[in-house]
C-alpha cells in the first residue's frame, strides 16, 4: 500500500507539472507553413487546418503525427482566412475576416457542408456580416479595432473576437455576435476585454469547449481561459491566464477535449496543453 501511495503521489506530481505547459506534438508539413486556423470534429482523430491569406483556397485534414490525410479545394477566394470552427452537425466554417487596415467591406464566413469533407472539392455558402459600430473604412488610428483572427460557433450563432491595431492597446478585444445562417448580418457588440498592451497580446484564435463551460482565447504571449460566465457573456465570469515560456507566432487553437487544447503556429509546429 505504501508503494502504491508513493506511485500515486509521483503521478499526481507529474500531472501537476504538465498543467499549463506546452507539450510538443509534431512538426507540420511545408504545405502548412502559414497555418492560421485549427479545428477538431467529434468522433474524428483528424485536425482540420487552413493557411492564411495569400495561400491556396484549401482545407487540410492532418493526423496527430502531422501527416496530411486529405486536401479539399474550397471554391471561394482566400481573401484573408484566419480561423476555423464547426457546429454540432459536423459542418465546418472558415472565418474570412482578416482586416489588417480595417477597410474591408466583404467580411464573411464560409460554410462547408460536412458532405464535402470526403471530397476533393467543396462548394460553400457565404455568410456576410458587418460590425454595427464601424462607420468609416478605415477608421481613425485610435479606432482600429475591426481586424479579426478569432471566432467560434455556439448555439446557432457566431462569436468573433477582434484584433486591435491601436498603438498601446494591442491586447484589447471586442466580442461580437450574429446568427450562423446564410445572409448578411449586423454583428452586435457583446462586450470587451483587455489582455495586455504589446504586440504579443493581440488575439489570434478562439474556441469554446464542447460542454460550453470554457472559452479560450489565444495570443502569442498567453492563453486566456474564461469560466463561470453567464449565458453568452463570456467576459462576465472568471479568467485565468497561462503565460507561454517562449514566443512564437501562435495562430490556431481548438479544444482537443474539455480539459486540453491543441495549438498551432506559423513556424509549422503543433502543441498540446492541459488546462484542467
**Above pLDDT 90, what percent of the chain?**
86
Q: What is the mean pLDDT of residues 151-174?
A: 96
Apex 270 CA angle, 264 and 276, nearest 5: 85
CATH code, 207: 2.120.10
Q: Categorize the per-residue pLDDT at 2 as very low, low, confident or very high, splitting at 50, 70 and 90.
A: very low
Burial class from Cβ neighbours inside 10 Å (0-12, 13-18, 19+) for residue 42 reads exposed
pLDDT tens track for 91-141: 999 999 999 999 999 999 999 999 999 999 999 999 999 999 999 999 999
pLDDT of 157 strictly over 50 = yes
Instruction: Please give the Cα distance from 160 to 153 (Å, whole number).
Output: 9
- 60 contacts 49 by C-beta, under 8 angstroms: yes
| Cα(201)–Cα(16) distance, integer angstroms | 26
Residue 5 in this model has a pLDDT that exceeds 50: no
- Planar angle of CA 72, 92, 31, nearest 5 degrees: 40
φ, ψ for residue 143 (rounded to 5)?
A: -120, 25
The mean predicted confidence, pLDDT, of the chain is: 92
Residue 198 pLDDT level (bands cut at 50, 70, 90):
confident
Pairwise CA distance, residues 92 & 192, whole Å: 26
- Contact residues for 208 (Cβ-Cβ < 8 A; gap 6+): 152, 154, 159, 214, 215, 216, 255
SS3 at position 18: helix
Q: Which domain holds residue 246?
A: 2-274
Q: What are 136's three cell numbers? A: 468609416
Q: Can you read off the three cell numbers belonging to residue 215?
A: 472559452
Q: What is the DSSP string of 224-263?
A: EEEES-BTTBGGGSEEEEEE-SS---EEEEEEEETTEEEE
Rounded CA-CA distance 122/134 in Å is 32
Separation CA 31–CA 70 (nearest Å) = 12
Domain count for the chain, please give it.
1
Amino acid at each position: 500500500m505504501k508503494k502504491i501511495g508513493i506511485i500515486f503521489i509521483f503521478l499526481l506530481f507529474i500531472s501537476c507539472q504538465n498543467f499549463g505547459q506546452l507539450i510538443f506534438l509534431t512538426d507540420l508539413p511545408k504545405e502548412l507553413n502559414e497555418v492560421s486556423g485549427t479545428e477538431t470534429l467529434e468522433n474524428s482523430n483528424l485536425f482540420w487546418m487552413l493557411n492564411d491569406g495569400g495561400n491556396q483556397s484549401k482545407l487540410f485534414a492532418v493526423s496527430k503525427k502531422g501527416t496530411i490525410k486529405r486536401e479539399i479545394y474550397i471554391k471561394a477566394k482566400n481573401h484573408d482566412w484566419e480561423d476555423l470552427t464547426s457546429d454540432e452537425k459536423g459542418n465546418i466554417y472558415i472565418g474570412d475576416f482578416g482586416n489588417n487596415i480595417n477597410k474591408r467591406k466583404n467580411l464573411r464566413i464560409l460554410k462547408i457542408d460536412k458532405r464535402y469533407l470526403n471530397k476533393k472539392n467543396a462548394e460553400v455558402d457565404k455568410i456576410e456580416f458587418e460590425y454595427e459600430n464601424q462607420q468609416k473604412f478605415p477608421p481613425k488610428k485610435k479606432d482600429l479595432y475591426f481586424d479579426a483572427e478569432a471566432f467560434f460557433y455556439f448555439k446557432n450563432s457566431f462569436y468573433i473576437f477582434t484584433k486591435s491595431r491601436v498603438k498601446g492597446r494591442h491586447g484589447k478585444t471586442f466580442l461580437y455576435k450574429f446568427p450562423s445562417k446564410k445572409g448578411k448580418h449586423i454583428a452586435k457588440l457583446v462586450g470587451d476585454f483587455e489582455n495586455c498592451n504589446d504586440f504579443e497580446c493581440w488575439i489570434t484564435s478562439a474556441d469554446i469547449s464542447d460542454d460550453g463551460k470554457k472559452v479560450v482565447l489565444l495570443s502569442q504571449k498567453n492563453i486566456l481561459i474564461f469560466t463561470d460566465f453567464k449565458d453568452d457573456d463570456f467576459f462576465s465570469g472568471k479568467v485565468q491566464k497561462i503565460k507561454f515560456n517562449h514566443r512564437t507566432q501562435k495562430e490556431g487553437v481548438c479544444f482537443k477535449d474539455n480539459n486540453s487544447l491543441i495549438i498551432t503556429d506559423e513556424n509549422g509546429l503543433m502543441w498540446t496543453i492541459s488546462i484542467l
